Amino acid sequence: MLKLRRISPENSLKLNVSYEDRNGVSGSDEATVVLEEKEPDFFDNTGIQKGILLSRYADLIKNWIIDERDSIERNETVKPAVNAVEGILPPVELGRWERQSIPLQVSEQYKALFSAFSSYFEDEMNDIGDDTLGQELDLLDMLSGYE
């Protein structure tokens, strides 16, 4: 499986493979692959779609907690690890020791991220047809408007 990042507007790419077999014989192959225009996300079923949605939700919440805590400890403005180019990446693993609590705060950057993600989340929730995701949606809406 490959995950590709678009670096040109073209819908095709050239793959080059070189290899050496167990007998030491080298070889190579080249192929041009034409990628169809598709929706950004495709899921075989709603179970997979829901799993990916909840994984993205959890990654966003974890990144927010990490970034807010780092900004307090460093006394700096929050620099979200989430952006339009990279998207929501899995957060770095933290140590196993519990951290002291800090007052709840939501930076303006994360308010905007929560608001944008809330719209996406609601669209996906409706597409899946699962109203049980309403609790997560309510939390996103609360965080995006937190004062």
The stretch 78-96 carries a mean pLDDT of: 71
User: What distance separates the 2 farthest-apart alpha carbons in the chain?
Assistant: 67
d(CA 7, CA 110): 27
Closest CA to 55 of 95, 90, 3, 92: 90
Q: State pTM to two decimals.
A: 0.62
Do the beta carbons of residue 109 and residue 78 sit within 8 Å?
yes
Let me know: does 108 contact 71? Beta carbons within 8 Å: no
The set of residues, in sequence order, having a beta carbon less than 8 Å from that of 84 and lying 6+ positions away, is: none
Does the structure show a pLDDT above 70 at 65? Answer: yes
Residue 2 has pLDDT above 70, yes or no: no
Averaged pLDDT of the chain: 85
- pLDDT on residue 70: 83
- Backbone region of residue 24 per phi and psi (left: phi > 0; alpha: psi in -120 to 50; beta: other values): left
- Mean pLDDT of the 93-118 span: 83
Other CB atoms within 10 Å distance of the CB of residue 124: 22
**Amino acid in position 70:** D
Using pLDDT thresholds of 50, 70 and 90, give the confidence band for residue 127. very high
Instruction: State how far the Cα of 105 lies from the Cα of 137, in Å rounded to an integer.
Output: 18
